């Protein structure tokens, strides 16, 4: 039984950016995940469900658990002093640490502290997503430019799924590994070593209620998924939880595609490039899958804003390529 901490220490030597500091950063993320997990588990009991009374920059109502998770991860990273700045879904502007120790930190982090938060009240899996870069600036408080790096520059990314079990999945660019929290001892144990996404699958995940707003290529891909062709496992099956982390985690294990496309109303879709698409795309590629806007590789996009959005097609390689083919064929 290997713990997350043992695994990180063991793998440090393989890792191009190997440093005790980086190891501590991953450990701190693991600690914050445990604290958030504890609060989520008692969410139905305590007066912690419900709205916080403010809106975030996207105009969405913030919930108490969103705010708790954000505070928890920010505090865990302050404590370690390895991170100089954080871009969070819950903070309008870049969050920078004021303490001199953190300002010397070599890393910047983009995170969605509680993804899928519309599912909190109904006991459906939610998650935390994180993405780590080396800073570009030399020292002092981190800058927005430190965060505006394309996803290929990530040195690590991962998520925590708070589901029937709590699992932390991460990659430092050397494959993907998953660790399940044993709540009785409070430790993450390696449970999903060297995760590989099946090349094909029969699950497609998309919010089909938006069908009338979809690009013709997306509509045609959905039709393709629904055709009868047993040789290619069609018709596929639909699974849509409405928590990106949970939908991706299932597809990672079973094979499948998740799509949040651009629509006529919102050409860049809904999901945020820095802390939703990029980290999930990094994991998908590391597991042998693919992530695209429908036309181009997610990880190649040069971001221009902290909260920018991108259309997102991610999952099994063959399935994403088929969807891209439809987008090209039916270009509007
Ligand atoms: P959030 O970060 O505000 O929770 O939004 C992101 C979530 C994803 O987890 C999920 O896949 C998607 O939004 C669901 O959106 P929709 O309800 O439009 O299908
Ligand atoms: Mg969120």
pLDDT at 53 over 80: no
Between the CA of 261 and the centroid of ligand 1 the distance, in Å, is: 12
Distance from the CA of 265 to the center of ligand 2, in angstroms? 21
Residue nearest to atom 2 of ligand 1 (CA): 115
Q: Which residue blocks in 82-232 are alpha helix, DSSP H?
A: 100-103, 144-147, 216-226
From 52, 60, 87, 118, mutation site for ligand 1 pocket: most ligand atoms within 8 A of C-beta: 118
Say how many Å lie between the CA of residue 111 and the centre of ligand 2. 9
Q: What percent of the chain has pLDDT over 70?
A: 91
More confident residue, 203 or 118: 203
Pocket test for ligand 1, best of 66, 69, 116, 125 (most atoms within 8 A of CB): 116
Which residue's CA is minimally distant from atom 4 of ligand 1? 116
CA distance 60 to 54: 8
- Contact (Cβ atoms closer than 8 angstroms) between residue 33 and residue 128: yes
Residue 49 pLDDT > 70: no
What ligand has the least distance to the C-alpha of 119?
1
User: Where residue 48 falls among pLDDT bands split at 50, 70, 90?
Assistant: very low
pTM: 0.94
18: pLDDT confidence band, cut at 50, 70 and 90?
low
Q: Long-range contacts made by residues 3-9, C-beta under 8 angstroms, separation at least 24?
A: 3/179, 3/187, 3/188, 3/189, 3/190, 4/30, 4/168, 4/179, 4/187, 4/188, 4/189, 4/190, 5/30, 7/177, 7/179, 7/190
Q: How far is the CA of 69 from the centre of ligand 2 (A)?
A: 10
Backbone phi and psi for residue 299, each to the nearest 5 degrees, phi listed first: -70, -15
Task: Give the mean model confidence (pLDDT) for residues 96-113.
Answer: 95
Q: Which domains does the chain have, with CATH numbers?
A: 4-192 (3.30.540.10), 203-329 (3.40.190.80)
What pLDDT, on a 0 to 100 scale, did the predictor assign at position 42? 78
Local confidence band at 11 (pLDDT 50, 70, 90 cut-offs): confident
In the chain, % of residues over pLDDT 90: 80
User: Quick one: which of 167, 129, 133, 322 has its CA closest to 233?
Assistant: 322
* Ligand 2 (single-atom ion) residues, CB below 5 Å: 89, 112, 115
Left if phi > 0, otherwise alpha if psi is -120 to 50, otherwise beta: which for 123? left
Mean predicted confidence (pLDDT) in 172-196: 96
CA 116 to ligand 1: nearest atom: 4
Q: What digits encode the pLDDT tens for the residues 226-270?
A: 999 999 999 999 999 999 999 999 999 999 999 999 998 899 999
Q: Does residue 112 carry a pLDDT above 50?
A: yes
23-27, 54-58, 146-150: range with lowest mean pLDDT: 54-58
On whether the CB atoms of residues 161 and 249 are closer than 8 A, the answer is yes
Q: To test the ligand 1 pocket, which listed residue (239, 244, 251, 273) has its Cβ within 8 A of the most ligand atoms?
A: 244
> How far, CA to CA in Å, does 159 sit from each of 13, 101, 141, 202, 282?
23, 26, 26, 24, 11
The pocket around ligand 1, CB under 6 angstroms, is made up of 60, 89, 112, 115-117, 207, 242-244, 247, 270
Cα angle 92, 206, 169 (rounded to 5 degrees) comes to 65
Please state, as a whole number, how many other Cβ atoms lie within 10 Å of the Cβ of residue 57.
12
| pLDDT, position 110 | 98
Band (pLDDT 50/70/90 cuts) for residue 119 is: confident
Range of weakest confidence among 55-59, 161-165, 206-210, 273-277: 55-59
On the CB side of 144, CA atoms within 13 Å amount to: 10
Q: Read off the pLDDT of each residue in 121-146 and give the average, rounded to a whole number.
A: 94
Ligand 1 atom with minimal separation from the 247 CA: 11
Average pLDDT over residues 204-216: 96
- Residue 255, Ramachandran bin (φ over 0: left; ψ between -120 and 50: alpha; else beta): left
Over residues 15-42, mean pLDDT: 83
Q: For residue range 277-322, list pLDDT tens digits in order.
A: 999 999 999 999 999 999 999 999 999 999 999 999 999 999 999 9
């Amino acid at each position: 039984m290997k713990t997350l901490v043992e695994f990180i220490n063991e793998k440090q030597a393989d890792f191009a950016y190997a440093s005790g500091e980086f190891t501590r950063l991953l450990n701190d993320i693991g600690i914050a995940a445990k604290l958030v997990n504890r609060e989520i588990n008692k969410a139905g009991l305590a007066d912690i469900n419900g709205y916080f009374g403010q809106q975030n920059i996207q105009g969405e109502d913030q919930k108490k658990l969103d705010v708790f998770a954000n505070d928890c991860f920010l505090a865990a990273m302050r404590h370690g002093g390895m991170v100089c700045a954080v871009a969070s879904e819950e903070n309008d502007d870049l969050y920078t640490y004021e303490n001199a120790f953190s300002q010397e930190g070599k890393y910047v982090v983009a995170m969605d502290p509680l993804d899928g938060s519309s599912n909190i009240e109904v006991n459906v899996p939610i998650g935390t997503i994180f993405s780590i870069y080396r800073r570009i600036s030399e020292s002092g408080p981190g800058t927005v430019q430190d965060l505006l790096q394309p996803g290929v520059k990530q040195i690590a990314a991962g998520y925590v799924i708070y589901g029937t079990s709590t699992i932390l999945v991460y990659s430092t660019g050397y494959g993907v590994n998953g660790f399940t929290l044993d709540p009785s001892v409070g430790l993450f144990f390696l449970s999903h070593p060297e995760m590989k996404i099946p090349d094909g699958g029969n699950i497609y995940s998309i919010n089909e209620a938006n069908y009338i707003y979809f690009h013709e290529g997306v509509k045609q891909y959905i039709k393709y998924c629904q055709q009868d062709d047993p040789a290619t496992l069609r018709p596929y099956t639909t699974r849509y939880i409405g928590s990106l982390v949970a939908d991706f985690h299932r597809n990672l294990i079973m094979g499948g595609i998740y799509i949040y496309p651009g629509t006529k109303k919102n050409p860049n879709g809904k999901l945020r490039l820095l802390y939703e698409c990029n980290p999930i795309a990094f994991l998908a590629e590391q597991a042998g899958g693919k992530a695209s806007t429908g036309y181009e590789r997610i990880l190649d996009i040069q971001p221009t804003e902290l909260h920018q959005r991108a259309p997102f097609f991610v999952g099994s390689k063959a399935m994403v390529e088929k969807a891209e083919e439809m987008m090209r064929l039916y270009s509007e």
